[in-house]
Amino acid sequence: MIQKNSPSPIYHQLEEEIKGAIQSLELIPGEMIPSEKEYTEKYGISRMTVRQAISNLVNGGYLYRERGKGTFVAQQKLEPPLQGLTSFSDDMISRGFEPSTRVISFTEVNADHELAAKLEVKEGTSIFELERVRLADQLPMAYERLYISKDLALDLSEEIAVTSIHAYVEKTFGLKIQHGRQVIEASIAQKKEAEMLEVIEGSPILLIERRITLDTNRPLGVVRSVYRADRYKFRIDLERLSSVIKKQNPTLK
């Protein structure tokens, strides 16, 4: 409930009230929320306060507006932490979704200069290229292209490609995936990306490139993924590195 004597601004309290209704599924994705007038009358607050709260929730991705219709609950984004190296399948399962994969193509290609450097093979070396769409509860979440060294996954096939490649190489070949480094960029969907993700061309997307390394320091593969920005976001928890700061500035207490 709204506490008018609270030091917390009323608009912020209303934001939290609406967020709580969304998280408890009192308001579900696609459902229209009450009007500004209804919130005004229910809580005895100004329409300007209600408008500010709703605008903040729209900007935060919790709600969306349709001109001439109203304001609706948005499909909530998945929010995986950036710490730790997990596969897409493991990530989806941990969040209660059923992962699945649609293979677009599985071919052998010659590594160009950039891929050869990242996989630490000679330029022109034959490598596997796997193109696929990753889904959560049958909804397209990501479109990816995986490049993997052939000598590390000789039996890789299109049938295997619908499963987790991480699990495949570890269980089948006894390899241990140790490290991953990824770069994330914001972009807009080009024609093919939009088609694969079932979004409108020009929609916001996240471009992610991950380089996967084994415990022997040998690169296993490079994954170039495009995620739907309306369904996916990343979270990172940061801690102040006080020990590093003190080391650099020993006079600080």
For residue range 33-43, list pLDDT tens digits in order.
999 999 999 99
For residue range 182-211, list pLDDT tens digits in order.
888 888 989 999 999 988 888 888 898 988
Q: What is the pLDDT of residue 153?
A: 67
Residue 86 has pLDDT above 80, yes or no: no
The pTM (predicted TM-score) of the whole model is: 0.59
Q: What is the pLDDT of residue 50?
A: 93
Q: What is the pLDDT of residue 181?
A: 82
Percent of the chain past pLDDT 70, that is, above it, reads 83
Residue 46 has pLDDT above 90, yes or no: yes
* Mean pLDDT, residues 156-178 taken together: 75
* Mean pLDDT, residues 159-174 taken together: 74
- Strands 99-110, 70-73: pairing is unpaired
* Mean pLDDT, residues 211-239 taken together: 80
Nearest to 140 by CA among 182, 184, 203: 203
Q: What is the pLDDT of residue 44?
A: 92
Q: What is the pLDDT of residue 60?
A: 75
Q: Which fold has domain 88-228?
A: Chorismate lyase (3.40.1410)
pLDDT-based confidence at residue 152 (cuts at 50, 70, 90)? confident
Specify the higher pLDDT residue, 81 or 87: 87
Least confident of 8-17, 124-133, 167-176, 235-244: 235-244
Instruction: Give the residue extent of every domain in the chain.
Output: 10-73, 88-228
Residue 167 has pLDDT above 60, yes or no: yes
Residues 179, 221: contact at Cβ < 8 Å? no
Least confident of 7-16, 47-56, 77-86, 165-174: 77-86
Residues 145, 130: contact at Cβ < 8 Å? yes
Question: What is the CATH code of the structural domain delimited by 10-73?
Answer: 1.10.10.10
* Mean pLDDT, residues 63-67 taken together: 86
Nearest to 47 by CA among 14, 5, 1: 14
Percent of the chain past pLDDT 90, that is, above it, reads 26
How open is the CA angle 126-130-136, to the nearest 5 degrees?
165
